[in-house]
Amino acid sequence: MTESDTPLLDELESGPWPSFVTEMKRAAEDKPAAKDLLLQLERSYVDRIGHWKHGGIVGVKGYGGGVIGRYSDLPEEFPAVAEFHTFRVNQPSGWFYNTQKLRELCDVWDKHGSGLTNMHGATGDIILLGAPTAALQPCFDDLAEVGFDLGGSGSDMRTPSCCVGPGRCEWACIDTLELLYDLTMTYQDQLHRPMFPYKSKMKISGCPNDCVAAIPRSDIAIIGAWRDRIRVDQAEVAAYAQAGLDIAGEVVALCPTACMTYDAAGRLTITDAECNRCMHCINVLPKALRPGVERGATILVGGKAPIVHGALLSWVIVPFMKIEPPYTELKELLDNIWAWWDENGRMRERLGELINRLGMRSFLKAVGLKPLPQMIKAPRANPYYFWDPEEVK
């Protein structure tokens, strides 16, 4: 019996959850880069520190982003990962595939790269992990041949993503899949050629459940919404009650606006004018309750992770907008937002941080939006506010 080169990682092959180490070993059977990646990772497990050098600019012809440079800091020991660059490949809307398309992708990646991928990265792209510099252009050419384009990186519009939407979900108040495809195609230049102060993320969810986490992690969040009444099927309400669901306790008592009643006759009544469309009752009773039919989206901006000045959740700037092809109103808004940010943003200043610095009032004025109570949790509690001298005459 030969002693393993990777005793620490081998321990992560046991246990019931699928093992990434097993995946690395499978790729390592015929890919020297995957083998050296495994060995370098084992070294990190011993040293308790990463072994990748800082950054590095690489790319393919015609693109300013989409490929991330990565170099080992132990290239003599692990020569097959001396250059180990990442492709971000733009995923199809809703991550829908057929097996033929996925196999074509695998064939290209087996030919040029490590055979290792993430399905998918957190932003939404297909991540192809690890190819040497010389392989980048040929790999991209072959990806293009089978219809896969690059995603975003650096100070550009990052690859947008969306939830499963009307492909499967009855709660989708907008066609997230088609809108995502349209915006991705409209903004190819912004996606592929970094020209902004910093990254700009956009995500689309079909309802306030927000399955792609648009509000916490995108500069521009488009969330499906309805404006009329929740559709109620009283027979199905009764069927849930019959089946033992505690409608008073699990649904009515948990309604955040107390806009529902459930009477002794088993009738669920919703005062829709007081409903804030949180989705809880619909989530619990999907067969009995459905979003209304007058549909559009709420648009929020400014969300981000901590770097540089702290994490932010996106803020409502448009309570309701109709979202229908060719999406002219939405695109005009996006263009105005990006233009203001581009004009005023400092290097590495995200949209939310710029709004914080210059003020929400300036932002709303610049992009031509009227202030509305739906935008705030509460009005200010301090007396430090400005007047335009023109208003004081």
Partner 1 sequence: MATRTDFGPPYFRDMLPPVIQKNYGEWKYHERIKPGVLKHVAESGDELWTVRAGSPRLVSTDWIRDVCDIADRFCDGYLRFTSRHNVEFLLADAARVEPLISYLNEHGLPVGGTGHSITNPVHTQGWIHCHTPATDASGIVKAVMDELFDYFGSWRLPALCRVSLACCLNMCGAVHCSDVAILGIHRKPPAINHDLVRAKCEIPNVIAACPTGAIRPDPKTKSLIVNEDKCMYCGNCYTMCPGMPLADATGDGISIWVGGKVSSARTPPKFSRLVIPFLPNTPPRWPETTAAVRNIIETWARHGRKHERMGEWIDRIGWERFFDLTGIEFAEQLIDDFTLAPETYRSTPTFKW
Name which of residues 197 to 256 contact partner 1 (CB under 8 A).
Answer: 208-213, 215-217, 236, 250, 254, 256
* Size of the residue set binding partner 1 (CB under 8 A): 124
Taking a C-beta distance cutoff of 8 angstroms, is the pair 27, 14 a contact? no
Please count the other Cβ atoms lying within 10 Å of the Cβ belonging to residue 302: 23
Taking a C-beta distance cutoff of 8 angstroms, is the pair 289, 277 a contact? no
| Nearest to partner 1 of 179, 366 (CB atom) | 179
| Nearest to partner 1 of 184, 337 (CB atom) | 184
Based on the shown chain and the rule CB under 8 A, indicate whether residue 188 belongs to the binding site for partner 1. yes
Q: Please identify which residue in 258, 311, 339, 376 interacts with partner 1, judged by CB under 8 A.
A: 311
| Nearest to partner 1 of 166, 194 (CB atom) | 166
DSSP 8-state code for residue 297: E
Q: Please identify which residue in 32, 50, 266, 359 interacts with partner 1, judged by CB under 8 A.
A: 50
Based on the shown chain and the rule CB under 8 A, indicate whether residue 166 belongs to the binding site for partner 1. yes
Based on the shown chain and the rule CB under 8 A, indicate whether residue 147 belongs to the binding site for partner 1. yes
Burial string for 234-247 (b: 16+ CB within 10 Å, else e) reads eebbbebbeeeeeb
Name which of residues 78 to 97 contact partner 1 (CB under 8 A).
Answer: 84, 86, 90-97
What x/- string results for residues 359 through 378 when contact with partner 1 is judged by CB under 8 A?
Answer: --------------------
| Nearest to partner 1 of 52, 320 (CB atom) | 52
DSSP letter for each residue of 13-55: GSSSSPPHHHHHHHHHTT-HHHHHHHHHHHHHHHHTS--B-S-
| Nearest to partner 1 of 373, 389 (CB atom) | 373
What tokens were used for 278? 């949180």
What tokens were used for 382? 């301090």
Name which of residues 270 to 299 contact partner 1 (CB under 8 A).
Answer: 278-280, 283-284, 286-287, 290
Torsion of CA 49, 50, 55, 58, to 10 degrees: 170
Q: Please identify which residue in 189, 294, 342, 343 interacts with partner 1, judged by CB under 8 A.
A: 189
Q: Distance (Å, rounded) from C-alpha 234 to C-alpha 269?
A: 9
Based on the shown chain and the rule CB under 8 A, indicate whether residue 9 belongs to the binding site for partner 1. yes
Q: Distance (Å, rounded) from C-alpha 233 to C-alpha 34?
A: 55
Q: Please identify which residue in 35, 67, 83, 124 interacts with partner 1, judged by CB under 8 A.
A: 124
